[in-house]
Amino acid sequence: MLMSSVIAHRGARQQAAENTLRAMTLAAEQGARWVELDVMLTADGIPVVFHDRYLDQLTNGYGELASYRFEQLQRLRVHAPIGSDDQAQPIPTLAEALQRLHALGLGLNLEIKPSTRSLWRETLQASLAVIQQSAPLPLVLSSFRHKAIAEALQLAPGIPRALLWERLPHDWKQTALKLEVRAIHLAEFALRRWQVAEIRASGFEVYVYTVNSIKRGKQLKSWGVNGVFTDHPAAFLSQPEWTTRQVRAYGEPL
């Protein structure tokens, strides 16, 4: 399998400030073997781990993340989730995240999330530059911005790729074959059983976001999905059917 069957979405996001070093560490403590993180660029071109285009909801800052230099962003804190007594956390750089994940022995699904549509090339290239300077770890690149995945095929063909869609389009297979991806990542709410069957029968893996209900997870597993992105990895990992399996690191021989 490309990744493990339980992937900590933005880290252990239900317990800690999402997409932070703390959320990654907590995911590992809960037994997760893989995390999913989002990467975007600061105004001075530093790849940082963050989900929203705007800072307002997730942090004590405001406005577009892309308008902040890294030095300015460092002063902000990402809120802990509502109801948690955890502390607010800094926004990590991608380099810091990779270092922490390597130390924790975790795999990473890095979602290339350009903060504006036009920044896909810069976001991918800056991320690859950081990846190439970091210690290797099991890695999969994904994006809703398929141009970034096409560029990844050109620039770093050895890193496995996945395509993200909210809803599977009718011509999905054509795109998947063209971009030589290993997996399709789809939204839970729009997914149909026949789609999972079609994708699996075509030789691709299927991972589904964001699944926080154990009952729904069980159903998706019975449909043949390979894994789920969840905000609460501990809940899934306490269920016998969600055992995880580590795969070799990117760059390591078979």
Contact partner, 151, from ligand G3P, Mg ion, none, Cβ < 5-8 Å per class = none
Q: Is 142 in the site for ligand G3P (CB under 6 A)?
A: yes
Judged by CB under 6 A, the residue of 229, 236, 242, 250 near ligand G3P is 229
> Alpha-carbon dihedral of residues 200, 250, 179, 223, nearest 10 degrees?
20
Residues in a beta bridge with 6 = 228
Burial 39-72 (b: 16+ CB within 10 A, else e): bbbbeeebbbbbbbeebeebbebeeebbebebee
Q: Is 38 in the site for Mg ion (CB under 5 A)?
A: yes
Q: Is 20 in the site for ligand G3P (CB under 6 A)?
A: no
Minimum separation from the CB atom of position 84 to Mg ion (A): 20
Contact partner, 143, from ligand G3P, Mg ion, none, Cβ < 5-8 Å per class = none
Structure tokens, 205: 């893996």
Determine the interface stretch with Mg ion among 20-28, 103-111, 134-142, 187-195 (rule: CB under 5 A).
Answer: 103-111
**Element containing residue 133 per DSSP (H, E):** helix 120-133
* CB closer to ligand G3P out of 208 and 237: 208
Minimum separation from the CB atom of position 231 to ligand G3P (A): 9
Site string for ligand G3P, 72-91 (x = CB under 6 A): --------------------
Answer yes or no: are the C-beta atoms of 103 and 67 closer than 8 Å. Answer: no
How many Cα atoms within 13 Å fall on the side-chain side of residue 165? 16
| CA 207 to mean position of chain CA atoms | 11
Q: Is 18 in the site for Mg ion (CB under 5 A)?
A: no
Interface with ligand G3P by CB under 6 A: which residues? 9, 36, 38, 51, 111, 142, 164, 185, 209, 229
